[in-house]
Amino acid sequence: MNVELKTIKPLLIIGIFCILLSACASVLPQEQFLSAGIHTPPQKSDGTCTESVVTTAKDSVVISGLSPDNISFFDWNIYKGSLEGWDSDFLHLSGGKDIILLQEASLDERLQEVLQQQNLYWNLNNAFLYREHETGVLLASTIPAITSCGQRTKEPIIGIPKTILIAKYAIKDSDKELLVANIHGINFTLGTGSYQEQFDGLERILKNHNGPLVVAGDFNNWSDGRSVIISDMVNRLSLETLQFEDENRTTFFGDPVDHIFYRGLKPLDYKVYSVDSSDHNPISVSFQLPGVELE
């Protein structure tokens, strides 16, 4: 078994944590996808990703689109909303953002309330039930997604899955469509086989998209082997890496694990916020579609 020596002790720590987590988490036998419009109750469906998700034609009834001169994102692992003040931080920091990516989003009443307060459409790809609430990755947006779907991969040792959520959005006055992938990488493994499998599945979907692309989230790339898998995927997809000058991102065993990769877009600005309401610091970033002149 190929285990990096520097990760053996941390893996023991992770193992203890995962055992505690599994005691209050349960896994549904199949993937469960939830979607909701503004002030509408969630609807459950089978939203498993296939390669056709990136070739779905734009619906003729879609009349709104993201502004090409400024598309703003907010990315945060909210730690299941288990720490005090997460909701006030969320409302304050994510307000006005076009697209919100959450990892470890536990769909309790309070999370649904704050999404409704911001008048957002949202989709959640459920990984497991945590204290009887669907928990996984969530994409929320000011306009409805053209199409969305999810992938789910089980942690090989404890069997609790991690999920990926992919969605396409219209861009105003453009024939291009923005594809966004929200990632929560597999965490507890002794090798990189399952981690490689998770990102191979993601790459099979993303490689068919020819327009602008954002891939972000909690990648759990806390070892050299995992980081190589991510960098190889980034290179094959011709993605660029958002460079953080003032490094304030959350680190795991010394390595940043929250990343934003992009293609076909120009970064305008970004900010990493220091918070006590999660074990991850949230990130905001704005992009411009090239060819658009700022007013």
Residue type (1 letter), 91? L
Q: What is the pLDDT of residue 4?
A: 42
Question: Does residue 294 belong to any structural domain of this protein?
Answer: no
Over residues 176-193, the pLDDT tens digits come to: 999 999 999 999 888 999
- Summarised one tens digit per residue, pLDDT across range 248-260 is 899 988 889 999 9
- Per the domain annotation, does 141 fall within a domain? yes
- Burial readout 111-145 (b: 16 or more C-beta within 10 A, e: otherwise): beebbeebebbbbbbbbbbbeebbbbbbbbbbbbb
* Look-up of token digits 């000058």: 245
Range of the domain at 153: 5-288
* 293 domain residue, yes or no: no
Please indicate, yes or no, if residue 159 is contained in any of the structural domains.
Answer: yes
H helices of 31-100, where?
86-94
What CATH number is associated with residue 71? 3.60.10.10
- The answer to whether position 295 is within a domain reads no
| Number of domains the chain contains | 1
Provide the whole-model pTM: 0.89
Answer whether residue 97 is part of any domain.
yes
* Residue type for position 140: A
Q: Residue 205: its pLDDT value, please?
A: 95
User: How far is 165 from 191, CA to CA, in rounded Å?
Assistant: 24
Question: CA 289 to CA 65: how far, in whole Å?
Answer: 13
Which phi and psi angles does 11 have, rounded to 5°? -65, -35
